Amino acid sequence: MQMKATHHYFLVRTASVLLMTMALVPSVDAQGPDTLIRTQTSRFHIERKRPGFFKKAEKRTSADQFAYAEALRLKGEDKKARKAYRNLVHSFHDSQEAPEAQRLYAESLVKKGDLEDAFLEYQYIVKYYPGKMSYKDVVAEQFKVANLIRVENENGLVMMGASSAKTLPLYEKIVENAPNWERAPEAQFFIGAIYEDRKEYADAIDAYERVMLRYPKSAFVSNAAFHRANSLTAIANKNPRDEARAQEALSSLVSVLRDYPSMPDADEARTARDALKLRLSNMIFERAVYYDSIAKRPEAAVVAYNDFSGRFPTSEQFDRVQKRVAVLQQQIEEQKNSE
């Protein structure tokens, strides 16, 4: 009697442990196979797929499994089809049907709205099935997914910080996957735009410069040049007394307007240029006045005034400065004669 009770307890205990374990296992449809890998290791560390308890083909051959998955898809049973495609890759990884099944699995995740997982599944093709499918087509699908996530943010569906954290590594991976792809300049530009939007201006400048240097004939060069200048201006505005930063930003704006006078952002660039010119001219004029009136160093004042005149010949202060320089030079000459 006691043995039966013990045996019954063991069975109940074993069953409860099994149920708890299964409850902890994510739904096969709720998470893509590589989502688990991504959360455990680095974002794009994607391990080779292998058969598993929940990832085992329903049919005995890859051809039969593919036909089974296709039949489900055509009947509109997307969830079951998605599982069948995924299981084919896990069970028949090196089969003729596996690359296409992997593509259809990624495509189904896009349709379901699991965009980040879809991107990873396309990346799986890049890593494990190179040459088996059109490389450009796969990267194009990744680009489409990254853009969908970005548009969600622009429509206010995702918090800005969360969205940029999602999309930035995707665009970076696209450029890494296909640096010579026809839309790589656009992806590289978006990298800069994300950094600029996050106010990480040094990284934004680096990203925009990559567009300008790597893709000098692309349609994004003028835009990248303007936003590079815009980022330099933002840095200068954060350091209002830093003459070197202001001069660098001003030079970049002058170059952009010289090279792309008809660009859509030309008016904005001119406004920023004029504001920087005024700030710089005031800084240099104030330094000259300091040497002249406070430090009482006429030689240094003449150098500073001449620097001002040479750099800002159209300034309203130009004539006044020229007259003051003449007076100071006469004083310096008289001082020398009296000695």
pLDDT tens sequence across 213-232: 999 999 999 999 999 999 99
pLDDT category, 38, cuts 50, 70, 90? very low
3-state secondary structure the chain: CHHHHHHHHHHHHHHHHHHHHHHHCCCCCCCCHHHHHHHHCCCCCCCCCCCECCECCCCCCHHHHHHHHHHHHHCCCHHHHHHHHHHHHHHCCCCCCHHHHHHHHHHHHHHHCCHHHHHHHHHHHHHHCCCCCCHHHHHHHHHHHHHHHHHHHHCCCCCHHHHHHHHHHHHHHHHHHCCCCCCHHHHHHHHHHHHHHCCCHHHHHHHHHHHHHHCCCCCCHHHHHHHHHHHHHHHHHHCCCCHHHHHHHHHHHHHHHHHCCCCCCHHHHHHHHHHHHHHHHHHHHHHHHHHHHHCCCHHHHHHHHHHHHHHCCCCCCHHHHHHHHHHHHHHHHHHHHHC
> According to the model, what pLDDT value does residue 332 have?
87
Q: Is residue 111 predicted with pLDDT exceeding 60?
A: yes
- Share above pLDDT 90 across residues of the chain, in percent, rounded to a whole number: 72
- Structure confidence by residue, pLDDT tens digits, 188-212: 999 999 999 999 999 999 999 999 9
